[in-house]
Structure 1
Amino acid sequence: MKYIHAALAALAVCLLLISSPVAAFNTFTIILDPRQENCFNEHLQAQDRLDLSYEVAEGGSMDIDFVIYSPNSRPLYNQNGKSFGTFGFNAEVEGTYVYCFSNKQSSASEKRLAFTVHGPDELFKIEEKEMKESIDDPTDTIQAELRVLDSGIKAIRDEHAFLTQRERRHRQTADSTNARAMYWSLVQALALIGVCYFQISYLKRFFDMRRLRGAACFDNHKYSSFG
Structure 2
Amino acid sequence: MKCLHFALATLAACVILSTPSAALNTFNIILGPSRENCFNEHLQAQERLDLSYEVADGGSLDVDFVIYSPNSRPLYNLNGESFATFGFNAELEGTYVYCFSNKKSGSSERKLSFSVHGPDEVFKIENKELKESVDDPTDTIQAELRTLDSGIKAIRDEQAFLVQRERRHRLTADSTNARVLYWSMVQALALIGVCYFQISYFKRFFEMGGVRV
Letter in 2 for 1:110: E
Unaligned runs of 5+ in 2: none
Shift of 1:147: 0.8
Shift of 1:16: 1.6
Q: For the residues of structure 1 that align with 2:208 and 2:9, how far apart are their CA atoms?
A: 95
Shift of 1:18: 3.3
Tell me the equivalent position of 1:41: 40
Tell me the equivalent position of 1:163: 162
- C-alpha distance after superposition, 1:50-105 (max 9, x if no partner): 11111110110111100000001100000001111111000001100000000001
SS at match of 1:211: coil
Query: Under a length normalisation based on structure 1, what TM-score does the superposition of the two structures give?
Result: 0.87
Unaligned runs of 5+ in 1: 215-227
Q: For the residues of structure 1 that align with 2:136 and 2:127, how far apart are their CA atoms?
A: 14
Tell me the equivalent position of 2:184: 185
1:20-169 counterparts in 2 under 5 A? Answer: 20-22=19-21, 24-132=23-131, 134=133, 136-169=135-168
Contact 2:130 2:140 (8 Å CA) reproduced: no
Contact 1:5 1:139 (8 Å CA) reproduced: no
Query: Under a length normalisation based on structure 2, what TM-score does the superposition of the two structures give?
Result: 0.92
Shift of 1:144: 1.0
Q: For the residues of structure 2 that align with 1:22 and 1:84, how far apart are their CA atoms?
A: 22
Letter in 2 for 1:32: L
Distance 1:196 1:146, change over 3 A: same
Kindly report structure 1 stretches of 4+ aligned residues shifted beyond 2 Å.
2-15, 20-23, 129-136
Sequence identity, in percent? 74
SS at match of 1:85: strand
SS at match of 1:73: coil
Tell me the equivalent position of 1:224: none
Q: For the residues of structure 1 that align with 2:21 and 2:61, how far apart are their CA atoms?
A: 31
Letter in 2 for 1:96: T
Contact 2:45 2:90 (8 Å CA) reproduced: yes
Q: For the residues of structure 2 that align with 1:87 and 1:3, how far apart are their CA atoms?
A: 40
Distance 1:178 1:142, change over 3 A: same
Name the structure where helix makes up a greater proportion of residues.
Answer: 1
Aligned residues: 212
Q: For the residues of structure 2 that align with 1:48 and 1:167, how far apart are their CA atoms?
A: 31
RMSD (CA atoms): 2.1
Q: For the residues of structure 1 that align with 2:140 and 2:30, how far apart are their CA atoms?
A: 43
Q: For the residues of structure 2 that align with 1:22 and 1:80, how far apart are their CA atoms?
A: 31
